[in-house]
């Protein structure tokens, strides 16, 4: 199965700053089937990005995804207070679907 490694494990930033989160796959992600989810404390994951770079319905344009092959990035251009959460990447191109271990974005 494809192993996804997210870095950093924890990212400490201030509101208004730019966040760059990485997700690296152990093999090429088929068809660029790579998604990002946001999870706030006590809540379920929420879809942000699918197909590497397509924003889900209702997701602000400060969230963007990029990458291909084995290396993917989630960028949050200007952090808002509600953006501090855990972010998970997922590949769904090769069964079984697998997830990264998550990046915690915390307020500095």
**Interface positions with other proteins (CB under 8 A):** 31, 33, 35, 37, 43-47, 50-51, 56, 88, 90, 92, 95-102
- Shortest reach from residue 97's CB to other proteins, in Å: 4
Tokens describing residue 45 = 């994951």
Locate tokens 């924890």: which residue?
A: 10
* Residue 105 near residue 85, CB atoms below 8 Å: yes
Min. distance of Cβ 65 from other proteins in angstroms?
A: 12
Min dist. Cβ of residue 86 to other proteins (A): 9
Task: Report how far Cα 96 is from the mean position of its chain's Cα atoms.
Answer: 19
């Amino acid at each position: 199965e494809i192993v996804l490694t997210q870095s950093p494990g924890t990212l400490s930033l201030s509101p208004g700053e730019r966040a760059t989160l990485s997700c690296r796959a152990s093999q090429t992600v088929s068809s660029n089937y790579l998604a990002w989810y946001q999870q706030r404390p006590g809540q379920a994951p929420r879809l942000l990005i699918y197909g590497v770079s397509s924003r889900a319905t209702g997701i602000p344009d400060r969230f963007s995804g990029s990458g291909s092959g084995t290396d993917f990035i989630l960028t949050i251009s200007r952090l808002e207070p509600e953006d501090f959460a855990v972010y998970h990447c997922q590949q769904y191109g090769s069964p079984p679907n697998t997830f990264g271990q998550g990046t915690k974005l915390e307020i500095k």
